[in-house]
Amino acid sequence: MDFMVFQYPMISVQACLDGILLGILFALIAYGMALQWGVMNIINIAQGDLVILGGYIAYFMYLYGIHPAWGVIVAPVIMYFVGIAIYKLVINKVVDRDLFISILATFGISILFMQLMNFAFGADVVLANSDYGTTMLFNNNVVLPNSKIFSAFISILFAICLVIYMKKSKLGRAIRATAQNARAAKILGVDTEKVYAATFGINAALCGVAGALISITFTIHPYMGLPYTIRSFMIVIVAGLGNLPGVAMSGMGLGVFEEFADYILGTEFRIGSVFLLLVLILIYRRFKLSKKREYLK
Amino acid sequence: MKNNLILYIGILIFGIAAPFIFPAFKVQLSILCVLIVLATTWNIQGGEMGYNSFGNILFYGLGMYLCASVQVGMFFPLAEWTESGGEKTFVHTPVQFFQGMAVGLIVAAVVPTIVAGLIGYSILGLRGHYFAICTLGLGVAAGEISGGIEIIGAGQGFTTPPFPDVGSLDSRGEFFYFLSFFVLVLTFVTVRSIYTTRFKLILNAIRDNEDKAEAMGIETMKYKIIGWMISAFFCGLAGGIMGGLVGYIDSTDVAFDGREMGVFMVLMAILGGKGTLWGPIIGATVFHIFKEGFWTFFLGWQYVALGVLIVVIVIYFPEGIMGWLREKYPERFGEVVDEKDRKAQVELK
């Protein structure tokens, strides 16, 4: 336990700003999860592993001498096709079935990806150095790496683009119609199979962007996927499906919580505190709903 | 009924004779017993009650740590033991070892049961996938947190007391085999007798429609918690034995291994056929043989194979072996079949 964070207010400011910038990234991943959950009614445990895979794409560009920031454009393109491939092989068989089947099947994909990445890229913690330097604020008391600001900016840009795409384009309309009522959409001539594939592809592409940004800002490791899945799940259940401002806010809230947990409890409890927070949030919602004799659906 | 009795006696005799028939596989057989215990107890939630838990690993890991720490802590200072990393500064005499193991196993069974009772009211109020994700979070959180606690070894792990030198070399394998076989028999007898009572019907009612069961006047929460406590009891015991068997406890790779053992128990029950008495046992046996085969022949690729296996089983084989047998030979399961109807159905397929 370390309470330095309360004695020096600048550390709190640092933690808050770090947390908000981090939270915007989480919100981007959570947006993808909300999309597939809302449209296809599946929970994808492999979400975090898709993020890490996207990160490795940017890292490899860095290794071959290309600036990793270009990964933000390359990773989603590759990940889109990876997503479509996963959909065609596995997900299309679990869409209409029990949610638990989708959880377990994607758990299998998650283990598979984790190990394949471990083989292909090695078990080292890596990062793609972007050389963006740092920004000093408040009399040099708060240090913000420019890469974090860059990643938050890019995340917001992608989120806005996607929202506009969903509102305006034909495919976006079809996706929203399928989310509302898949059967009715099918009757009215929407090829739901295609919509599902595109949704999963877009989700994977979003994960790719987030992963590329994470590899620039933080570190990546083949086994670090599951925490990202849990974070995005948590953000989605706090915000609710289809509530974009809520996703952004709860993403930032989670980011700030994590930074403070890191300072107060110590880095070794950071991931543990995220998972514990998920359990506590679920229990809180359960008791709140049980007063009205309802339960989480 | 008479047939069953002969079958049980046959299995019991085979179980007792197994370590002498396959002397090279004693450790594997003990692990198999532990796996069967885990799959069978998972089936109480996942199969009979319809609550798909990833969190039974919590009780398993808790039992593992508790058994080992009690065994050490009864005779030596625990902190110094973990700090020395299991070097031979402290040595258990045989009497101390067995006394510690006995007390440790009792603690390892009782404490998880109490924990299950305490957290059960909060957690079991969640339904469906929320329960699954919440218990997954519980298991991983326990692993991450126990990995930060100094006194039980933190990141470096915890070496359990080595088996004392008592005469022959093989006694370690035999001791752990018979211990785990005893727990397996205990689990089987308990679960089997549970499944003949009203309790099982209540669990099935919860699975089929919880709201209706509640409306019929069943206090579902009470039965859910009792079911989870029974699971926790045996998971704790299994964990305690596994800790001694492996000889080394690591927070995320051995004890609270939600990514492996936590999924294995689900997978074994599904492979065998959830919601049946024999399903998890058959599933665990097949899975263990399969897994060891992979470990031997595809060294390095075993987890890749495991991921593929999970996906294939879940998508193409969700009713499991028992479900398949039931469809193929319904007469054996006491179902009356209309031959004409069955033929028509086969033709339809």
Pair of tokens at residue B132: 């699954």
User: At B54, phi and psi to the nearest 5?
Assistant: -95, 5
pLDDT, tens digit (0-9, with 9 covering 90-100), for A184-225: 888 988 888 889 999 999 999 999 999 988 888 888 888 888
Considering the domain boundaries, does residue A96 fall inside one?
Answer: yes
Using a CB-CB cut-off of 8 Å, the residues of chain A touching B311 are 90, 105, 108-109, 112
Q: How far apart are CA B90 and CA B218, in angstroms?
A: 54
Q: What is the pLDDT of residue B337?
A: 63
- Chain CA centroid to CA B130, Å: 22
Q: Are B256 and B142 in contact (CB under 8 A)?
A: yes
B141 within some domain? yes
Cα dihedral value A259, A106, B279, B178, nearest 10: -40
Q: Which of A42, A111, A281, A285 to mutate to test the interface with B (most CBs of B within 10 A)?
A: A111
Cα angle A254-A259-A260, degrees, rounded to a multiple of 5: 100
% of chain A surpassing 70 pLDDT:
97
Alpha carbons A275 and B134: distance in angstroms, whole number? 9
Structure token pair of residue A265: 């409890």
Predicted confidence at residue A80, as pLDDT, reads: 92
How does the average pLDDT of chain A come out, rounded? 85
pLDDT score, position B345: 66
* Domain of B124, in residue numbers: 26-262
C-beta atoms of B307 and A111 within 8 A: yes
Number of domains in chain B: 1
User: Do A48 and A110 form a contact (C-beta atoms < 8 A)?
Assistant: yes
Tokens at residue A262, please? Answer: 């890191």
* For residue A84, pLDDT beyond 80: yes
Q: Could you write out the DSSP letters of every residue in B169-225?
A: TTHHHHHHHHHHHHHHHHHHHHHHHHHTSHHHHHHHHHHH-HHHHHHTT--HHHHHH
Instruction: Give the CA angle between residues A105, A204, B318 to the nearest 5°.
Output: 10
Q: Going along A6-157, which residue ranges are E strands? A: 134-137, 142-145
Assess contact for A80 and A205: CB atoms under 8 A. yes
Beta-carbon contacts of B82 under 8 Å, excluding residues fewer than 6 positions away, are B150, B151, B152, B153, B156, B158, B159
Nearest to A59 by CA among A140, A129, A141, A143: A129
Q: Is A137 helix (H, G, I), strand (E, B) or coil?
A: strand
Average pLDDT over every residue of A32-55:
89
Strand partners, A137: A142
| Sign of the four-CA dihedral B189, B192, B194, B196 | negative
Partners of residue B132 in chain A, C-beta under 8 Å: 100, 103
Nearest CA in chain B to A276: B141
| Cβ–Cβ < 8 Å for A90, B315 | yes
> Which residues of chain B register pLDDT less than 50?
none
On whether the CB atoms of residues B231 and B56 are closer than 8 A, the answer is yes
Give the angle B87-B93-B97 at the CA atoms, nearest 5°.
85
- The answer to whether residues B325 and B332 touch, using CB atoms and an 8 Å cutoff, is yes
**Residue B24 CB contacts under 8 Å (≥ 6 apart), including other chains:** none
**pLDDT at position B276:** 83
**CB distance from A88 to chain B under 8 Å?**
no
CB pair distance less than 8 Å for B133 and A43: yes
Q: A interface mutation test: which of B211, B252, B311, B313 has the most A CBs within 10 A? A: B311
Within 8 A of A295 by CB-CB distance, chain B residues are 125-127
Q: What number is the average pLDDT over the span A160-164?
A: 90
This complex has an ipTM of 0.85
**Which two three-digit tokens encode residue B332?**
């054996």
Whole-angstrom distance, CA of residue A99 vs CA of residue A178: 18
What φ, ψ does residue A136 adopt, rounded to 5°? -100, 135
The answer to whether residue B51 sits within a structural domain is yes
Whole-number pLDDT of residue B86 = 57
Q: How confident is the model at residue A238 (pLDDT cuts 50, 70, 90)?
A: confident
pLDDT of residue A85: 92
Select from A107, A272, A296 the Cβ nearest to the Cβ of B126. A296
Domain range for A80 is 23-242
Helix axes B26-43, B261-272, angle to 10 degrees: 70
Kindly list the residues from chain B whose CB atom is less than 8 angstroms away from the CB atom of residue A114.
Answer: 259, 303, 307
Is B133's CB within 8 Å of A101's CB?
no
Residue B254 lies in a domain: yes
Average confidence score pLDDT of chain B: 82
Pairing outcome for strands A142-145 and A134-137:
antiparallel
Total number of domains constituting chain A:
1
3-state secondary structure B56-93: HHHHHHHHHHHHHHHHHHCCCCHHHHHHHCCCCCCCCC
Q: Check if A99 contacts B (Cβ < 8 Å).
A: yes
Q: Is residue A148 in a domain?
A: yes
Q: What pLDDT is recorded for position A205?
A: 92
The CB density around residue B347, as the number of other CB atoms within 10 Å, is: 7
The answer to whether A149 contacts chain B (CB < 8 Å) is no
Please name the member of B138, B154, B263 whose beta carbon is closest to the beta carbon of A107. Answer: B263
| Residue B178, min C-alpha distance to chain A (Å) | 33
pTM score of the predicted model: 0.86
| Closest listed residue to residue A31, CA positions, set A197, A198, A245, A222 | A245
Q: How many CB atoms lie within 10 A of CB A223?
A: 17
Sign, Cα dihedral of B324, B329, B332, B333: positive
Which of A40, A62, A69, A54 minimizes the C-alpha distance to A222?
Answer: A54
Does residue B323 lie in a domain region? no
pLDDT at B155: 67
